[in-house]
């Protein structure tokens, strides 16, 4: 499905330089996805069966959650191995003024789904990680829903269902804190704030939870926990990149 980028004239600017790319507003998933993953190196040697990153000589993953018996989610799918470039795009979209990068990220998401259709078509619903956007919110817009709505335009056949998980209030921010602090917030504030308003929509379903970045997996664990508690048959994660501290 992805387009061969070499013969394109003019050539794409290259992922990470989307602002200068002539295809930024006219591209397709078949173009933006290969641009975003081009040059992403696969891990050498054995990888974690949960998140797909390289494991150490003992076969252990550096992500604590991957080794937990009560992980709740089955596995993690990662769109791009170019973690730093993807994080830069996500950061500019979330915290900067480049809101139209949401369309680019949406196309990249659809490109990944199409490229892995044989496996991912088995999921019944693709929802978003819960983001609180009420009066006490850190930010007043749901950036994950913006990406998914853009993806829905380019991939209307995929079962996007944003907002299946609700968050009742703000919780501590994960950016720039230790894994131990992340776990404390996730198992405390975040767990207490999450709910599934319409359990009938998730009952018996296999669900992908879309988020921007996977760091240790504590947030995804709580999302999976609440969905399984509402009757979901399986929960897996889908992120744009894996990045420690993201």
CA angle 165, 205, 191 (to 5 degrees): 30
- Pinpoint the alpha helices (H) of the chain: 29-37, 83-95, 101-115, 117-120, 143-154, 179-185, 191-193, 199-202, 218-229
Using CA atoms, how far apart are residues 138 and 126, in angstroms rounded to an integer? 25
128: β partners? 210
> From first to last of its 246 residues, what are the pLDDT tens digits of the chain?
689 999 999 999 999 999 899 999 899 999 999 999 998 777 788 999 999 888 988 888 888 899 899 999 999 999 998 999 999 999 999 888 788 899 999 999 999 999 999 999 999 999 999 999 888 877 778 999 999 999 999 999 999 999 999 999 998 877 777 888 989 999 999 999 999 999 999 999 999 999 999 988 999 999 999 999 999 999 999 999 987 654
- pTM comes to 0.94
Are the C-beta atoms of 115 and 78 separated by less than 8 Å?
no
The structural domains of the chain, ordered by start, are 18-242 (3.40.50)
Residue 199: which region, alpha, beta or left (left: phi > 0; alpha: psi -120 to 50)?
A: alpha
């Amino acid at each position: 499905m992805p387009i061969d980028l070499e013969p394109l004239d003019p050539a794409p600017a290259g992922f990470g330089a989307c602002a200068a790319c002539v295809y930024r507003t006219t591209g397709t998933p078949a173009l933006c996805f290969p641009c975003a993953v081009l040059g992403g190196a696969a891990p050498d040697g054995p990888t974690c069966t949960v998140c797909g990153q390289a494991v150490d000589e003992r076969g252990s993953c550096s992500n604590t959650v991957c080794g937990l018996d009560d992980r709740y989610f089955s596995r993690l799918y990662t769109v791009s191995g170019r973690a730093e470039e993807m994080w830069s795009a996500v950061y500019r979209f979330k915290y900067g003024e480049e809101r139209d990068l949401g369309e680019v990220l949406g196309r990249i998401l659809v490109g990944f789904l199409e490229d892995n259709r044989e496996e991912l078509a088995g999921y019944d619903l693709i929802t978003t990680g819960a983001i609180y956007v009420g009066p006490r919110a850190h930010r007043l817009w749901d950036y994950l829903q913006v990406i998914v709505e853009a993806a829905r335009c380019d991939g209307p056949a995929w079962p996007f269902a944003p907002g299946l998980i609700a968050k009742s209030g703000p919780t501590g921010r994960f950016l720039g804190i230790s894994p131990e602090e992340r776990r404390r917030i996730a198992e405390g504030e975040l767990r207490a704030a999450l709910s599934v308003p319409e359990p009938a929509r998730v009952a018996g379903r296999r669900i992908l939870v879309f988020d921007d970045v996977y760091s240790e997996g504590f947030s995804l664990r709580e999302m999976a926990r609440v969905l399984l508690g509402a009757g979901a048959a399986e929960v897996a994660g889908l992120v744009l990149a894996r990045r420690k501290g993201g």
